[in-house]
C-alpha cells in the first residue's frame, strides 16, 4: 500500500471523515464483463457492461430503440453535482483562498464509464478494437437499476462530483467524456486520454449488474501483459488498495460478495487498463441490480458521499 493506515486515517479526518475497519468476503466471479451492444431491436448478451467479455451473470439489458436513460434517469438530476442541496461538501476548498491545495500540481483523469447514447449506435460501439490480449467492442451500454436508472447516468454524475472535489483541492482534472448524451469514446481512447495527460492517477468509474442477491463494491487493477501497462502495475495496485480502503470507510458499503477477494480483482482483458501508461484502476461502486444498493445510488447525497470517498482515496495515494 502506498500509504500507511495511520496516514490514510489522518487524511480522512482532515476531510471530515473517520476511518472505519475494513472487512469482506471472497466469492465466485459471477459477473465479469457485460457483452457488446446488440444490434438495434435485439436483446443484449448477459450483463452488458464495461468492455465486452465472458460474463457469467444473467441480467439482460434490451436495446429496442426506446431510451434506456429516459425518465428513469431523473434521480441523477436531483441535487446536481456542486449544488447547495448536497449535504456532503467537497471538503478542503481552496478556490479564491490564495493557498495551494493538497493536490496542487497533480493531474487526475476521471473516466465515467459508458455514455448515455451508446445504445442508439450499436454499429459504432460494437466495432472491435485491439486491447493487446484480445479484440473487444469499442464500448458498451452499461447496466441499469430495475427502474431504469442507467449506469452511464450514475457514472457521469459521480464523476462530475469527484472532479469538482479534486479541483477544489488543487488538482488538474481531465474527464474522458464531456456529457451523457453522446457515444463512447472507445476504451482505447479512454486509456489514451490519461496517457496524453501524463496523469498522476486515473480512475474509471463504474457500477456492476449482477444477480439481485449479490452486493458490495470491488476495485479492478491491471496485470502484467508484456505491454505498456507493465511499468505501472505496481503503482496501480497501491492506488487500488488506497482507494478501496477510503471507499469502504467513506461509504459503508461492503466488499463484493461475488467478485474478487477483499474487494480486489486483477484483470488482463480490459483495454482501459492494458493500454494505460499511468497508474489506473476501475471502481465498481456496487451492484445496480441489488435493490438496496440501487436505492442508495439514486440518492444525490449518497452519490456525493461516493465521490468524496473516491477523492479521499486518490488524495491519500497522491500524497
Q: Supply the CATH number for residue 15's domain.
A: 3.40.630.40
Q: Tell me the C-alpha distance between 58 and 157, whole Å.
A: 26
Per-residue model confidence as pLDDT tens digits over 90-141: 444 333 345 789 999 999 999 999 999 999 999 999 999 999 999 999 999 9
pLDDT of residue 89: 39
Q: Tell me the C-alpha distance between 277 and 226, whole Å.
A: 12
Query: Could you tell me if residue 125 is inside a domain?
Result: yes
List 51, 61, 151, 284, catalytic entry: 284
Q: Is the pLDDT of residue 215 over 80?
A: yes
51-55, 62-66, 195-199, 250-254 — which is least confidently predicted? 62-66
Q: Is 123 helix (H, G, I), strand (E, B) or coil?
A: helix
Query: Could you tell me if residue 90 is inside a domain?
Result: no
Q: DSSP state, 7?
A: H
Query: Could you tell me if residue 64 is inside a domain?
Result: no
pLDDT of residue 100: 85
pLDDT of residue 182: 97
Query: Could you tell me if residue 86 is inside a domain?
Result: no
Q: Is 11 helix (H, G, I), strand (E, B) or coil?
A: helix
Query: Could you tell me if residue 225 is inside a domain?
Result: yes
Handedness of CA 319, 176, 221, 212 (dihedral sign): positive
284 is catalytic: yes
Question: What number is the average pLDDT over the span 296-315?
Answer: 98
Q: Which range of residues forms the domain containing residue 313?
A: 5-57+104-318
How many Cα atoms within 13 Å fall on the side-chain side of residue 86?
A: 25
pLDDT of residue 25: 30
Q: Which residues contact 90 (CB under 8 A, 6 or more apart)?
A: 161, 164, 165, 168, 169, 308, 311
Q: Which of 233, 247, 228, 213 is nearest to 281 (CA)?
A: 233
Question: What number is the average pLDDT over the span 64-86?
Answer: 37
Q: Is the pLDDT of residue 57 over 80?
A: no
- Phi/psi region, residue 181 (left: phi>0; alpha: psi -120 to 50; beta: rest), is alpha
Question: What number is the average pLDDT over the span 265-282?
Answer: 98
Q: DSSP state, 150?
A: B
pLDDT of residue 285: 98
Q: Tell me the C-alpha distance between 205 and 282, whole Å.
A: 6
Question: What number is the average pLDDT over the span 187-205?
Answer: 98
For residue 304 the three cell numbers come to 456525493
Query: Could you tell me if residue 85 is inside a domain?
Result: no
134, exposed or middle or buried, with CB in 10 Å at 0-12, 13-18, 19+? middle
For residue 182 the three cell numbers come to 453522446
Question: What number is the average pLDDT over the span 236-242?
Answer: 98
State the CB neighbour count (10 A cutoff) for residue 130: 12
78 or 103: which leads in pLDDT: 103
Per-residue model confidence as pLDDT tens digits over 86-99: 333 344 433 334 57
pLDDT of residue 99: 72
Query: Could you tell me if residue 70 is inside a domain?
Result: no
Q: Is the pLDDT of residue 82 over 50?
A: no
Q: Sort strands 135-137 and 128-130 into parallel, antiparallel or unpaired.
A: antiparallel
For residue 61 the three cell numbers come to 439489458
Total of domains in the chain: 1
Query: Could you tell me if residue 71 is inside a domain?
Result: no
Amino acid at each position: 500500500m502506498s500509504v500507511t493506515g495511520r496516514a490514510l486515517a489522518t487524511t480522512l479526518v482532515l476531510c471530515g471523515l473517520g476511518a472505519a475497519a475494513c472487512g469482506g468476503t471472497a466469492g465466485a466471479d459471477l459477473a465479469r464483463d457485460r457483452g457488446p451492444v446488440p444490434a438495434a431491436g435485439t436483446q443484449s448478451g448477459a450483463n452488458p457492461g464495461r468492455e465486452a467479455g465472458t460474463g457469467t451473470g444473467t441480467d439482460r439489458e434490451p436495446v429496442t430503440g426506446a431510451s434506456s436513460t429516459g425518465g428513469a434517469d431523473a434521480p441523477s438530476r436531483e441535487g446536481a453535482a456542486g449544488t447547495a442541496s448536497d449535504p456532503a461538501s467537497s471538503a478542503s476548498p481552496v478556490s479564491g483562498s490564495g493557498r495551494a491545495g493538497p493536490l496542487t500540481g497533480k493531474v487526475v483523469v476521471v473516466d465515467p464509464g459508458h455514455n448515455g447514447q451508446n445504445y442508439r449506435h450499436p454499429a459504432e460501439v460494437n466495432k472491435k478494437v485491439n486491447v493487446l490480449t484480445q479484440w473487444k467492442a469499442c464500448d458498451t451500454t452499461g447496466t441499469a437499476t430495475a427502474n431504469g436508472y442507467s449506469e452511464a447516468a450514475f457514472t457521469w454524475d459521480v464523476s462530475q462530483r469527484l472532479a469538482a472535489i479534486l479541483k477544489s483541492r488543487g488538482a488538474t482534472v481531465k474527464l474522458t467524456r464531456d456529457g451523457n448524451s453522446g457515444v463512447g469514446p472507445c476504451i482505447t481512447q479512454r486509456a489514451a486520454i490519461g496517457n496524453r495527460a501524463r496523469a498522476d492517477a486515473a480512475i474509471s468509474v463504474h457500477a456492476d449488474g449482477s444477480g439481485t442477491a449479490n452486493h458490495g463494491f470491488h476495485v479492478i487493477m491491471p496485470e502484467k501483459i508484456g505491454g505498456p501497462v507493465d511499468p505501472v502495475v505496481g503503482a496501480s495496485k497501491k492506488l487500488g488498495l488506497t482507494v478501496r480502503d477510503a471507499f469502504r470507510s467513506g461509504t459503508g458499503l461492503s466488499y463484493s460478495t461475488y467478485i474478487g477477494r477483499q474487494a480486489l480483482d486483477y484483470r488482463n482483458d480490459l483495454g482501459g487498463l492494458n493500454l494505460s501508461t499511468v497508474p489506473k484502476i476501475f471502481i465498481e461502486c456496487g451492484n445496480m441490480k441489488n435493490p438496496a444498493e440501487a436505492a442508495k445510488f439514486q440518492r444525490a447525497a449518497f452519490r456525493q458521499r461516493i465521490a468524496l470517498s473516491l477523492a479521499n482515496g486518490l488524495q491519500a495515494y497522491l500524497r
